[in-house]
Structure 1
Amino acid sequence: MTSDCDIAESGGRGAARQFPARDFGFDDLDLSWLRAKRGEKWRGCGPGALPASLADMDYPVAPAVREALDAAVRRGDLGYPAWSTWTGANPLAGPFADRMDARHGWRPRPEWVRNVSDLLQALQVLLRLATRPGDAVAVQTPSYPPFLKTIEMMDRRVVACPFERDGGAWSFDAERLERDVRESECRVLLLVNPHNPTGRVLTRAELESLAGIAVRHDLLVIADEIMSDLCHAPHRHIPMASLGVEIAERTITVNSATKAFNFAGLRCAVMHLAPEMVREAFDSYPPDYFGPVNVLGVEATKAAWSEGDAWLAALTDHLRANRDLVAATLAEHAPAIGYDPPESAYLAWLDCRELGLAAEPAQHFREKARVELIPGRAFGAEGRGFTRLNFATSRTVLTEMLHRMADSLTPVR
């Protein structure tokens, strides 16, 4: 097996200099710099292991974001902000509306925007405000593990809307979903688009079928669109609330710059509360009851949305090339692993059911390849036999990960 020193000194099995990324340093990642990170992704992996687990990217902060944060610190501007939830001012309402309009052709109502720390908190708050224990929530599965855990801990029921592999792509059965929604007396549709972990970007026709189900069965729609800035061409994100008045008035759109621009630790997200009942329920609590967003999170978000598009374009080019590198490497060295290249973001949903492993796939790759992945079973019953790999790193590190995994599948002679 290759050591960290081998990667750092030889460039691993795929030299970064052969794969430029528009001068933003996406391939110039030093392993000692990565291992010095204090976040869970790199601190949580074992000695010599390479983490491809949590959905954090390995790259330096976008220049526009870094400059905005540096400027705030240089000003000593970390006191009480000029905006305040007590006065009703929202520093992200206008920037969010402008971003959605410019990027996706949808103009939200700024006065309907409310702030939360992240999308998980948003789901928890919304389930508390709009549902009761025992209510059913339709969820696209496999699903982000903390979403499933939240629904379980809040004593709500999951109605699964499974994605299934069909001819090299992921799709879902809308007729089955409608039947299940009707029979379970479902109250909420949790829509994750682009989807985690499959990477699907839903088409207009798919979204319209879901919108029809929501309207016919009077569902509240919680639309997690946090990956919307990371779609790979030719796929384009379509906001659920942009499909027409009937679906817009029942849709809560949740979004954040933290995923595309990689600053989840700054804890800053927005909700567009179109349903009046939910908006009034949220506003009935004291202004800081659910916790205000922090000053640096606001500064980073505004800079990302207004000045970060050049960096974002280069990032998506790099991620798309990494996505294709995963496909090429697995096809050559581990063809038994099923892989449908994601249409958005940087998460590879790997089908390991044909490998015949004695252990769960993530456990196998942790123990035999020293690569940390997310177990598929954490994403629900549909995730058994799968594992999720985060390829948002340098070509060198990614190539080493993939070769370690492939080598771990080679029978010992």
Structure 2
Amino acid sequence: MLDDIDIPTLSARPGFKWSTATAAGAIPAWVADMDFPVAEPVLAAMRESAAIDLGYPAWQENPRANPLIDAYVERTARLHGHRPDPGGIRVFTEIIQALQAILHVTTAPGDAVALHTPAYPPFLETIATMGRRLVPIPMVDDGDGWVSDPAPLAGCKVLILVNPHNPTGRVLTRAELTGIAELAERHDVLVIADEVHSELIYEPHRHIPFAAIAPERTVTLNSASKAFNLAGLRCAVADVAVPAVRKAQRPQQHPVEGLGGAGQHRAGRAGARRGGVLAGQPVQGERQVPQAAGHLGERAQPVQPGPPGHHGHRVQVVVQLDVLDQRRVAEPGGEFPDRRWAGT
């Protein structure tokens, strides 16, 4: 499969990454789309569904019956030793949509939102557009790795915790996560944990879900978009472990949540059945594989941190053809009733 990756083939791709660069006569290394093809079991599941039915899913009137939920719970338990409560899983069309929906019911304009920087630009744009106040927590390379001072949590309503961190690739240890949890408890801060890169880390390090440490303060966001190069399918999940946040979301679930899609059920089952490796031995560790190393597959070695990239393919369970509902909530007030999270 690695030998099939060449510049002429990649340059012919119509997607955002390559079409934009090719038109400018350049080779792209600026966006987190890998250059490997999508894993064949996922493609097979999608082809099967597309050949049968692309209509509204059977669980349209009952989002909790979406089969993606159980597949996500089982995969998280198998890979990370943490089993989310299925009753708290919400399906969205992308992580930014989920982030905006959670911020809407847990914060008000002017509230402080902490975020480690540098950061994914759409996170910064979301905070600004929604009228929230950014409290940056700078990541600093001290020579032994990327570190930060969590003290700025005082006075914040929310911490957006990106772990593994984008773009430095830093994977937080259990001790670090426990320290953040203690500060969050002390200052009454909700933690929105973006764990979209959780399957792209090196040995001997391990991803530890923040919800496994502080479930009473955590909303976890995840998606297939990075680890399995499926951003165009528009699918994400939010594990809303905090009962008060679930309650605040209840009045606006239908307008904002994705309905699910035709390919998701079978692709999810394919992912649940297969936990093995499709291209080389997947590894975990502190620094993610940068974009260029994606072409090296299992031969890639840890390198200095840069824009996060990808290594290997495992079958992803968070897969769906959700092209029906791609709405975002960017304006405070928006489509939602004004019900705020009141803490735990």
Fold conserved (TM > 0.5)? yes
Partner of 1:181: 153
In our comparison, the structure showing a higher alpha carbon Rg is: 1
Give the 3 Å change call, closer, same or farther, for CA 316–270 of structure 1 in structure 2: same
Q: Distance in 2 between matches of 1:312 and 1:105?
A: 24
The Cα shift of 1:289 comes to 3.6
Report the CA distance between 1:226 and its aligned residue: 0.7
Between the aligned partners of 1:33 and 1:87, the Cα distance in structure 2 is 39
Q: Residue 257 of structure 1 contacts residue 304 of structure 1 at CA under 8 Å; is this kept in 2?
A: no
1:26 pairs with 2:7: no
Q: Residue 353 of structure 1 aligns with which residue?
A: none
Matched, 1:48 2:25: yes
Distance 1:258 1:87, change over 3 A: closer
Runs (4+) of structure 1 exceeding 4 A deviation are 320-326, 389-393
In the alignment, is the contact (CA less than 8 A) between 1:132 and 1:156 conserved in 2? Answer: yes
- Once residues 62 and 72 of structure 2 are traced to their aligned partners in structure 1, the CA distance between those partners, rounded to angstroms, is 20
- How many Å separate the matches in 2 of 1:82 and 1:63? 26
Shift of residue 92, structure 1, vs aligned partner: 1.6
Contact 1:257-1:305 within 8 A present in 2 as well: no
* Residues 1:305 and 1:33: Cα distance change in structure 2 (over 3 Å): farther
State TM-score, norm by structure 1.
0.68
Paired amino acid for 1:57: M
1:77 aligns with 2:57: no
Deviation at 1:308, TM superposition (A): 5.5
Counterpart residue number, 2:175: 205
Q: 1:26 to 1:315 in 2, by over 3 A?
A: farther
CA distance in 1, matches of 2:15, 2:25: 17
Q: Which AA in structure 2 matches 1:341?
A: V
CA–CA distance in 2 between the matches of 1:272 and 1:286? 14
1:260–1:390 CA distance, 2 compared to 1 (3 A): closer
Tell me the number of residue pairs that the alignment of Structure 1 and Structure 2 aligns.
Answer: 301
2:242 corresponds to = 275
Cα deviation, 1:80-100, whole Å, max 9, x if unaligned, reads 222224364122221111111
**Residue 167 (str. 1) matches residue 143 (str. 2):** yes
The Cα offsets for residues 323-382 of structure 1, whole Å up to 9 and x where unpaired, read as 6987xxxxxxxxxxxxx836xxxxx42xxxxxxxxxxxxxxxxxxxxxxxxxxxxxxxxx
The percent identity for this pair of structures is 45
Compare the two structures and name the one with the higher helix fraction. 1
> Aligned pair in 2 of structure 1 residues 254, 389: CA closer, same or farther (>3 Å)?
closer
CA shift for structure 1 position 137: 0.6
Contact 2:34–2:291 (8 Å) recurs in 1: no
Task: Give the distance between the partners of 1:222 and 1:269, measured in 2 at CA.
Answer: 14
Kindly provide the amino acid, as one letter, of the partner of residue 216 in structure 1: R
> CA, structure 1 residues 114+313, in 2 after alignment: closer, same or farther (shift >3 Å)?
farther
Q: 1:87–1:222: structure 2 CA closer, same or farther, 3 Å change rule?
A: closer
Q: Specify the alignment match of 2:216 in structure 1.
A: 249
Contact 1:53 1:389 in 2 (8 A): no
Asked if structure 1 preserves the Cα contact closer than 8 Å seen for 2:50 and 2:262, the reply is no
Question: Is this contact kept in 2: 1:261–1:312, CA < 8 A?
Answer: no
The letter for the 2-side match of 1:282 is Q
Verify the 8 A CA contact 2:289 2:310 in the aligned structure 1: yes
Answer yes or no: is the 8 Å Cα contact 1:261–1:304 preserved in 2. no
Give the whole-Å Cα distance in 2 for the aligned partners of 1:228 and 1:389.
12
Candidates 251, 276, 296, aligned match of 2:263:
296
Q: Distance in 1 between matches of 2:309 and 2:195?
A: 19
Q: CA RMSD in A?
A: 2.5
Partner of 2:317: none
Distance 1:53 1:170 in 2: 21
Q: What does residue 37 of structure 1 align with?
A: 13
| Deviation by residue 1:256-312 (Cα, 9 ceiling, x = unmatched) | 223211111011111111111211122212524444233224543443353253126
Indicate the SS of the match to 2:91: strand
In the superposition, the TM-score normalised over structure 2's length comes to: 0.80
3-state SS of paired residue (2:97) = helix
Structure 1: which amino acid aligns with 2:186? R
For residue 114 of structure 2, give the secondary structure of its aligned residue in structure 1.
strand
1:300-339 equivalences under 5 Å are 300-307=267-274, 309-311=276-278, 314=281, 316=283
CA contact (8 A) 1:140 1:192 kept: yes
DSSP-derived class of the 1:234 partner: coil
Q: Distance in 2 between matches of 1:269 and 1:210?
A: 25
Gaps of 5+ in 2: 294-301, 313-344
- Return the match for 1:109 from 76, 85, 88: 85
SS in 2 for 1:236: coil
The 1:325/1:280 distance shift into structure 2, 3 A limit, reads closer
Does the 8 Å CA contact 1:52/1:391 hold for their aligned counterparts? no
**Structure-2 separation of matches of 1:322 and 1:211:** 28
- Number of the residue aligned with 1:236: 206
Following the alignment from structure 1 to structure 2, what is the Cα–Cα distance between the partners of residues 309 and 106? 19
Letter in 2 for 1:284: P
Shift of 1:224: 0.4
Q: Is the 8 A contact 1:136 1:186 kept in 2?
A: yes
Q: Per-residue CA shift, 1:229-265, capped at 9, x if unaligned? A: 111111110001112xxx2111001112232111110
Partner of 1:66: 43
**Structure 1 residue 37: Cα displacement:** 1.1
